[in-house]
A = this chain, B = another copy of it.
Amino acid sequence: MFGARCVRLVLRRCSSAPCPKHAATAKLLRVREALEIRDPSGQDIKVQGWVRSVRSQKDVLFVHMNDGSSLENLQVVADPELGPSELTFGSSVEVQGKLIKSPHKRQNVELAAENIRVVGPCDVLAFPLKYKTHHPLDYLRQFPHVRCRTNSLGALLRLRSEATAAIHSFFKDNGYLHVHTPIITSNDCEGAGEIFQVESANEKRVPGENPHFFDVPAFLTVSGQLHLEVMAGAFSKVYTFGPTFRADDSQSRRHLAEFYMVEAELSFAESLQDIMQAMEDLFKKVTDTVLSSCPRDVELFHKHVAPGQEAKVERMLKNRFITMSYTEAIEVLKRAHQEFVYKPEWGRDLQTEHERYLVQHCGEIPVFVFNYPYDLKPFYMRDNEDGPQHTVSAVDLLVPAVGELCGGSLREDRPDFLQSRLQRLGLEDTYQWYIDLRRFGSTPHGGFGMGFERYLRCILGVENIKDVIPFPRFSHSCVL
A residues engaging B (CB < 8 A)? 1, 5, 8, 11-12, 14-16, 30, 48-51, 67-69, 90-92, 94, 119-123, 126-127, 144-146, 148-149, 153-154, 157-158, 160-161, 164-165, 168, 172, 175, 177-187, 193-202, 213-220, 226-227, 230-231, 233-236, 242-243, 245, 247, 249, 257-258, 260, 267-268, 270-271, 413-414, 416, 433-434, 436-444, 469-471, 473, 475-480
Kindly identify which residue among B15, B214, B475 contacts A271, using a CB–CB cutoff of 8 Å.
Answer: B15
- A185 and B470 form a contact (CB under 8 A): no
What residues on B are CB-neighbors of A193 within 8 Å? Answer: 201-202
Instruction: A434 to B434: give the CA distance in the assembly, Å.
Output: 46
- A243 and B180 form a contact (CB under 8 A): yes
Beyond A120-B438, A186-B480, whether A443 also contacts B92 by CB under 8 A is yes
Instruction: A197 to B235: give the CA distance in the assembly, Å.
Output: 34
What residues on B are CB-neighbors of A180 within 8 Å? Answer: 160, 164, 243, 260, 469-470
What residues on B are CB-neighbors of A161 within 8 Å? Answer: 177-179
What residues on B are CB-neighbors of A153 within 8 Å? Answer: 234
Number of copies: 2
- B68 and A471 form a contact (CB under 8 A): no
Kindly identify which residue among B172, B231, B436 contacts A157, using a CB–CB cutoff of 8 Å.
Answer: B231
- A470 and B181 form a contact (CB under 8 A): yes
Beyond A182-B470, A260-B180, A442-B92, whether A235 also contacts B68 by CB under 8 A is yes
Instruction: A217 to B199: give the CA distance in the assembly, Å.
Output: 12
- A200 and B270 form a contact (CB under 8 A): no
Instruction: A469 to B231: give the CA distance in the assembly, Å.
Output: 12
| Identity of the chain B residue whose Cβ is nearest the Cβ of A198 in the assembled complex | B196
What residues on B are CB-neighbors of A15 within 8 Å? Answer: 270-271
Please indicate which of the listed interface residues A122, A172, A182 has the most CB atoms of chain B within 10 Å of its own CB: A182
What residues on B are CB-neighbors of A477 within 8 Å? Answer: 214-215
Instruction: A207 to B397: give the CA distance in the assembly, Å.
Output: 40
Q: A195-B201, A196-B201 are in contact. List 12 more A-B contacts (CB 8 A).
A: A15-B270, A90-B441, A145-B436, A148-B230, A153-B234, A157-B234, A165-B172, A186-B478, A186-B480, A214-B478, A216-B478, A227-B470
Instruction: A91 to B441: give the CA distance in the assembly, Å.
Output: 4
Kindly identify which residue among B92, B235, B438 contacts A148, using a CB–CB cutoff of 8 Å.
Answer: B235
Instruction: A192 to B92: give the CA distance in the assembly, Å.
Output: 33
What residues on B are CB-neighbors of A268 within 8 Å? Answer: 48, 92, 94, 119
Instruction: A175 to B67: give the CA distance in the assembly, Å.
Output: 11
- B201 and A178 form a contact (CB under 8 A): no
- A196 and B197 form a contact (CB under 8 A): no
- A175 and B480 form a contact (CB under 8 A): no
- B182 and A236 form a contact (CB under 8 A): no
Kindly identify which residue among B186, B197, B234, B249 contacts A154, using a CB–CB cutoff of 8 Å.
Answer: B234
Instruction: A196 to B203: give the CA distance in the assembly, Å.
Output: 11
Kindly identify which residue among B178, B234, B235, B416 contacts A165, using a CB–CB cutoff of 8 Å.
Answer: B178
- B441 and A121 form a contact (CB under 8 A): yes
- A183 and B183 form a contact (CB under 8 A): yes
Beyond A177-B157, A233-B149, whether A183 also contacts B121 by CB under 8 A is no
Instruction: A218 to B478: give the CA distance in the assembly, Å.
Output: 7
CB distance from A478 to the nearest CB of B (A): 4
Beyond A145-B230, A267-B48, A268-B94, whether A122 also contacts B469 by CB under 8 A is no
| Identity of the chain B residue whose Cβ is nearest the Cβ of A244 in the assembled complex | B183
- A236 and B67 form a contact (CB under 8 A): yes
| Identity of the chain B residue whose Cβ is nearest the Cβ of A163 in the assembled complex | B178
- B436 and A182 form a contact (CB under 8 A): no
CB distance from A183 to the nearest CB of B (A): 5
- B196 and A199 form a contact (CB under 8 A): yes
- A236 and B68 form a contact (CB under 8 A): yes
What residues on B are CB-neighbors of A187 within 8 Å? Answer: 480
What residues on B are CB-neighbors of A122 within 8 Å? Answer: 439-441
